[in-house]
A and B are shown apart, each in its own frame.
Chain A
Amino acid sequence: MTTSVAFEKARAEGRAALVGYLPAGYPSVDGSIAALRAMIDAGVDIVEVGLPYSDPLIDGPVIQTAVDAALRAGTTTTDVLRVVEAVAATGAPAVVMSYWNPLDRYGAQAFARDLAAAGGSGVITPDLTPDADDSWIPAAREHGLDTVFLVAPSSTDERIAMTTAACRGFVYATSVMGVTGTREQVGDAAAGLVGRTRATTDLPVAVGLGVSNATQAAEIAAFADGVVVGSAFVRRLLDAADPAAGVASVAELAADLAGGVRKR
């Protein structure tokens, strides 16, 4: 399934799509596959597979802790592709979330080719704006991958238009100014940003940063096409007594959030 089909399916059901993030390689490569599959079984529509990076500058402490552990355990870019392959085999779309340098080092063309071969749907690039580099977009287009770029509350209308024109699949709107991590309030800025984004594109707009529970998911689902949850899932794995308990806890949260996105 493509991300577009997943968003259409959710729209047809009168709800927002639920997007769940976990980094590959935490608590182990196989452990991350199990957790991502459990997420899908419990109602997540699209998964984001995080590529662990040494300098994750828009991630808060929760995701930093998990990716540090994944890197110390020796997780490689090849492992990330294996996770994508295993998850995409379930039929749910899997996109990679990656900082730019690991992809640059792998080679934009080579990564696009290998991700497409693994069944991946696309890549979200948190530190790569469409105007930053000339290599990624052509490589992704050639291999039919979604290019998902971020828009932020601080983005000008001109930049939002430039960004959405370069997006394929969907647009990622960051709800607040800040790093990843759960928040009490996900901010009124998000609704305004989604409105400004919609004015430039027909692509679905997913909102991320800060969402951790069904109530917040429902709040976002009222105005966005997708709700992205990351740190709250990672927190479930970090807090678990053992990997099996972590998988069960992730599934529990996914089911809860899946209820949330249906309550708009």
Chain B
Amino acid sequence: MDTRPDSGHVLSADRPGRFGPYGGRYVPEALIAALDELDREYTAARQDPAFTAELDHLLTTYTGRPTPVTEAARFGAEAAGGARVLLKREDLNHTGSHKINNVLGQALLTKRIGKPRVIAETGAGQHGVATATAAALMGLECVIYMGEEDTRRQALNVARMRLLGATVVPVTTGSRTLKDAINEALRDWVTNVETTNYVFGTVAGPHPFPTLVRDLQRVIGVEARQQVLDLTGRLPDAVAACVGGGSNAIGIFHAFVDDADVALYGFEAGGDGVATGRHAATITAGSPGVLHGARSYLLQDEMGQTIESHSISAGLDYPGVGPEHAWLKDTGRATYEPVDDADAMEAFRLLCRTEGIIPAIESSHALAGARRLGERLGPDATILVNLSGRGDKDVDTAAKWFGLMSESGEVQA
């Protein structure tokens, strides 16, 4: 684990867990003791050489880190305005996405605290699969909350979690997606907090989660920054990542925050198009408020009721976003733009055809953003893209999108 201190201008010193006006802890009193315990244990663990050594060992021998940086030469030439496109291959992690980086750290923390049970929410299922994996590895009981709509979209991941020994609870309240899965997980946690640790999947939620998850995902950018330097002799002009809750984006951004010449771009899910209202572009189209324990941007109506999000990508289908992203947006350090479903799927197709890599639909939003940046910045530019996950779980959705398979799942002649 990278234990360098936080970048000074990002975390505000006067109030723990605040990023400018964002972040904080808006939770029932019943959860405060558990959040304090997690914060305390994490602070101790990150300074404990035995803990960091165990995590580093797992990241190397179990996950397969460091993940490589792959030059996507054909994609850059044919699909991104001739720009030099470099892919940080988080898709090559064990379990297929960056989520495992965070989960191994939090599962080790759970053992350190001495709780026998973990719970987690999941959207696309990647965080659920990663949590179920770590729970199996460390002998923890595991319950995953997943919106019923998402269990349908990501049926393969539901099966994976169950194979790994986890209990998957389909959530039937509200929009039946990630937002409601988090509500149910929080309800479980407030009830079972004595025996249970909540392994939160993204850089949202109450303090310490945005900081804890960010620190555990920082490894992506720390590796990638050096790899790009080694490969090209200089820093990239731009870094692109998709943003739902924002963990893979913070993970790759953070090591570059102090590199003023490196532009940081977060690509949100534009769904059917921001103008249609059916999207998950929280920073682009939302406003500041409180959801799931933290102040940040969210999609809400004039009464402060959360508005349901929409995206072809279950992992980005969330009406909130991590508070550090809200602050990076307000300070102008990072730029956030929407990518709609059609553009994401076109980038998905192009990466398959030009590089032989099937990306996750989530990550395809970053690839679509990189295409846009390539057109803007031109052939001299180097763009680092966080390929946060692989697309095996999305083959069904993609096959239907491209007409390779009927809605009922029959392969077209």
Contacts and interface: CB of A to CB of B under 8 A. Distances in A.
Contacts of A64: 173
A105 B300 contact: yes
A154 B306 contact: no
Nearest to A174: B30
Contact of A100 (B26, B187, B192, B193): B26
A149 B32 CA distance: 13
Given A57-B186, A179-B187, A152 B304 contact: no
B300 A154 contact: no
B164 to A, nearest CB: 27
B218 interface: no
Interface string B164-178: 000000000110000
Interface string A173-198: 01001110000000000000000000
Contact of A151 (B29, B290, B291): B29
B29 A155 contact: yes
A128 B26 contact: yes
Contact of B29 (A54, A60, A77, A150): A150
A54 B29 CA distance: 20
B411 interface: no
A182 B193 CA distance: 19
Contacts of B153: none
Given A102-B303, A102-B304, A126 B290 contact: no
A151 B32 CA distance: 10
A154 B30 contact: yes
Given A55-B179, A55-B306, A174-B30, A132 B24 contact: yes
A60 B173 CA distance: 11
A58 B187 contact: yes
A153 B171 CA distance: 28
A55 B27 CA distance: 12
B28 A126 contact: yes
Interface string A53-68: 1111110100010001
A104 interface: yes
A28 to B, nearest CB: 17
Contact of A129 (B32, B34, B303, B304): B32
A41 B330 CA distance: 52
Interface string B280-303: 000000000111110000001011
B305 A54 contact: yes
Q: Give the contact-size bracket for chain B.
A: 20 to 34
Interface in A101-155: 101-106, 126-129, 132-133, 149-155
A54 B174 contact: yes
A103 to B, nearest CB: 8
Contact of A105 (B27, B179, B289): B289
B290 A101 contact: yes
A71 interface: yes
A30 B227 CA distance: 65
Interface in B30-71: 30-34
Given A57-B186, A58-B187, A58-B190, A133 B33 contact: no
Contact of B187 (A57, A128, A156): A57
In the complex, the 8 A-B pairs of residues with the closest C-beta atoms, listed nearest first: A105-B304, A152-B30, A102-B304, A178-B191, A154-B33, A54-B305, A101-B304, A54-B306
Interface of B: 24-34, 173-174, 179, 183, 186-187, 190-194, 289-293, 300, 302-306
19 contacts: A54-B306, A55-B292, A60-B187, A76-B303, A100-B290, A105-B289, A106-B304, A127-B26, A128-B26, A129-B25, A129-B32, A133-B24, A149-B29, A150-B29, A151-B29, A152-B29, A154-B31, A177-B30, A177-B194
